[in-house]
Amino acid sequence: MRTVEWHAGKVRMIDQRLLPAEFCQIDLEDVAAVAQAIRDMAVRGAPAIGATAGFGMALAAHTSPADERDALLADLERAANVLLATRPTAVNLAWAVKRTLRRAEAADSADAIRTALLAEAQAIADEDVTINQRLGAFGAALIPDGATILHHCNTGALATVDYGTALGVVRAAHEQGKRVHVLVDETRPRLQGARLTAWELQQAGIPFTLIADNAAGHFMRTGQVDVVLVGADRVAANGDVANKIGTYKLAVVAKENGIPFYPCVPTSTVDLDLPTGDDIPIEERSADEVTGITFHGQRVVPEGVRAANPAFDVTPHRYVTGIVTENGVAYPPLAMTLARMVKESQ
């Protein structure tokens, strides 16, 4: 079952806000609903957001009343702006929107645009699965038998259309018969590790242990971690990596303890137009994600407390051992090797 797909003229997706307590799929009937689902994190994970944006553009084409090509293109530009305004950090969203717009502009009639956009959105989704499987195979070669893998956030099938990026590497290693064990960071404040990664690993029968985010350093210093795997929402041209908040400190502690640190990303997540990670926009989410947490049914934070809630941080490339892509592992100098990996996908 795919995280997001086209179904009976609607965009159908797994509502990840309800997991693991409830598995539910929702059908979205217009581009505003798709944008809201991205903003509210019913769907999340850079590749899944990209595929959702692709289907959102197809949905905008099919729901537009325009009969003429130019009028439909104008409606699609408006839909693109709505989708692009949802979440600024993950580059796959903009990549998918621009890709579908290019396909629309190449079509010569309104009907041809509608057909072309649905085909392009489906291609983005199908390619994502194939890309992740290739990425997983390259990454699995880095994982020794018996390895303990530290993982942050959620990068599995739920974060993609299917299979996963960093968790796709874990999955591929497991499918090869390697005995792997995963230390799963809770990933506060939205607890994607505790809610989603733990659920996915449980479904796949892969051994894991859930740990508090603040325990990761202890496990690394005491020799209980062999490799750190994470995803990414955007990678700059020099190899700086923007990922879920808390990734930077994991990379620093991993380097201090001589542990390999590998972001695992499709080349569509690499933004060669941004020279460094300092240029990556960091999404600031609602303070309620931090202050609204409860423990044993009681509110944790006193009323009236202010909170900062950046959703991502940037890990400088000097802490990155290598970046796993569908075209192989990019090693330093990352500015050269990443450009080559991206070129191979064009």
Q: What is the pLDDT of residues 24-44, one digit of tens each?
A: 999 999 999 999 999 999 999
Q: Is the pLDDT of residue 335 over 90?
A: yes
In this structure, are 11 and 147 located in the same domain?
A: no
Question: Where among 132, 152, 184 does a domain terminate?
Answer: 132
Q: How confident is the model at residue 89 (pLDDT cuts 50, 70, 90)?
A: confident
In this structure, are 151 and 177 located in the same domain?
A: yes
What are the catalytic residues? 233
In this structure, are 157 and 88 located in the same domain?
A: no
CATH number reported for the structural domain that contains residue 77 in this entry: 1.20.120.420
Q: What is the DSSP letter of 196?
A: I
3-state DSSP assignment of residue 23: coil
Question: Where among 100, 132, 164 does a domain terminate?
Answer: 132
In this structure, are 68 and 138 located in the same domain?
A: no
In this structure, are 72 and 113 located in the same domain?
A: yes
Q: What is the pLDDT of residues 268-295, one digit of tens each?
A: 999 999 999 999 999 999 999 999 999 9
In this structure, are 66 and 167 located in the same domain?
A: no
What pLDDT is attached to residue 96?
96
16 is in which domain, residue-wise?
4-132
Q: Residue 196, Cβ neighbours under 10 Å: how many?
A: 26
Q: How confident is the model at residue 201 (pLDDT cuts 50, 70, 90)?
A: very high
**Which residue shows structure tokens 């792997």?**
180
pTM of the model: 0.94
- For the residues 57-86, what does the mean pLDDT come to? 97
What pLDDT is attached to residue 83?
97
In this structure, are 34 and 110 located in the same domain?
A: yes
In this structure, are 267 and 191 located in the same domain?
A: yes
In this structure, are 65 and 210 located in the same domain?
A: no
- For the residues 134-155, what does the mean pLDDT come to? 98
Mean pLDDT in the chain? 97
**Number of residues written out for the chain:** 346
In this structure, are 152 and 283 located in the same domain?
A: yes
Contact present, 310 and 245 (Cβ < 8 Å): yes
Torsion of CA 121, 125, 130, 136, to 10 degrees: 140
Rounded to whole angstroms, how far apart are CA atoms 64 and 76?
Answer: 9
What pLDDT is attached to residue 79?
97
CATH number reported for the structural domain that contains residue 310 in this entry: 3.40.50.10470
- For the residues 92-104, what does the mean pLDDT come to? 96
φ, ψ (nearest 5 deg) of residue 14: -75, 130
Domain count, the chain: 2
- The residue among 188, 186, 189, 275 whose CA lies nearest residue 234 is 275
Rounded to whole angstroms, how far apart are CA atoms 49 and 106?
Answer: 24
In this structure, are 176 and 299 located in the same domain?
A: yes
- For the residues 197-213, what does the mean pLDDT come to? 97
Question: Where among 109, 132, 155 does a domain terminate?
Answer: 132
- The residue among 218, 198, 220 whose CA lies nearest residue 210 is 198
Contact present, 149 and 229 (Cβ < 8 Å): yes
In this structure, are 173 and 102 located in the same domain?
A: no
